[in-house]
Amino acid sequence: MDFMPEPRSLDHLLAQVTRLHHERARTQIGALGLHRGQPPLIITLSEGDGRTHTELAEHLHVTPATVTKMVQRMESAGFVQRQPDSDDQRISRVYLTQTGREVSKQLSALFNTLDIETFAGFAPEERTRLHQLLLRVRDNLLRTATSPDQDQQ
């Protein structure tokens, strides 16, 4: 592991932690053949298969164009498939393939392991308090945001 200098501020520490967590998750997700932004789509479909592009975009807080591009890429990789809606042929619904369902299970295990690694040695009450504090940080940032990030892929 590379040497990390002592952070000069809480903001710097938060940036370090976020970057390290992101890198660890990206490496693990990449090993499953997924790209950034795709795990939320797989998780969403595992919770409710057969959603439309519009429903996925709303649930994931991204544009429909982003969902279309993501679904096309994931369909090519064999994780999802599109099928016409039985009532309205203009609408397509997105379903996990068998490969997508297997990757969904692997994602669940991966995120569980990442959680264990990240919070090793934390008492339950420390985890609860950290959760509360991070929610406050998030809420502060949401309040000051001028335009939310709508294009996550």
pLDDT digits (tens, 9 = 90+) for 48-101: 999 999 999 999 999 999 999 999 999 999 999 999 988 988 899 999 999 999
Taking 80 as the threshold, does the pLDDT of residue 6 lie above it? no
Say if domain 11-144 classifies as CATH 3.30.429.10: no
Taking 50 as the threshold, does the pLDDT of residue 150 lie above it? no
The per-residue pLDDT of the chain, averaged, comes to: 90
Domain ranges of the chain: 11-144
pTM for this entry: 0.78
pLDDT for 146 = 64
Closest residue by Cα to residue 99 from 77, 120, 69: 77
pLDDT digits (tens, 9 = 90+) for 23-41: 999 999 999 999 988 999 9
Taking 70 as the threshold, does the pLDDT of residue 152 lie above it? no
How would residue 132 be classed by pLDDT, with cut points 50, 70 and 90?
A: very high
d(C-alpha 61, C-alpha 35), whole Å? 17
Q: Are strands 80-84 and 92-96 parallel, antiparallel or unpaired?
A: antiparallel
Say which DSSP state 67 is in.
H
pLDDT for 138 = 92
pLDDT for 117 = 95
- State which H helix or E strand residue 104 sits in: helix 98-118
